[in-house]
């Protein structure tokens, strides 16, 4: 969560807090997907090496 989001959450602007939450969830999902994809690729590589 960025400082900007934190300040807006503290000032209790519901629109901003919802927007910031969806942003942080979106970036977390991208990180999860990319890490799962990387593991999947490594597994495929090791499978084809053997």
* pLDDT number for residue 9: 66
pLDDT at 44: 86
CA–CA gap between residue 45 and residue 35 (Å, rounded): 15
The predicted-structure confidence for 1-50, as pLDDT tens digits, reads as follows: 567 766 666 666 666 666 667 777 677 777 887 888 888 888 888 888 76
Contact 25, 48 (CB under 8 A): no
CA 46, CA 50: separation in Å to the nearest integer?
A: 7
pTM of this structure: 0.40
């Amino acid at each position: 969560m960025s400082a900007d989001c934190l300040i807006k959450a503290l000032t209790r602007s519901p629109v901003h807090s919802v927007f910031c939450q969806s942003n942080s969830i979106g970036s977390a999902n991208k990180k999860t997907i990319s890490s799962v994809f990387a593991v999947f690729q490594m597994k495929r590589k090791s499978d084809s090496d053997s």
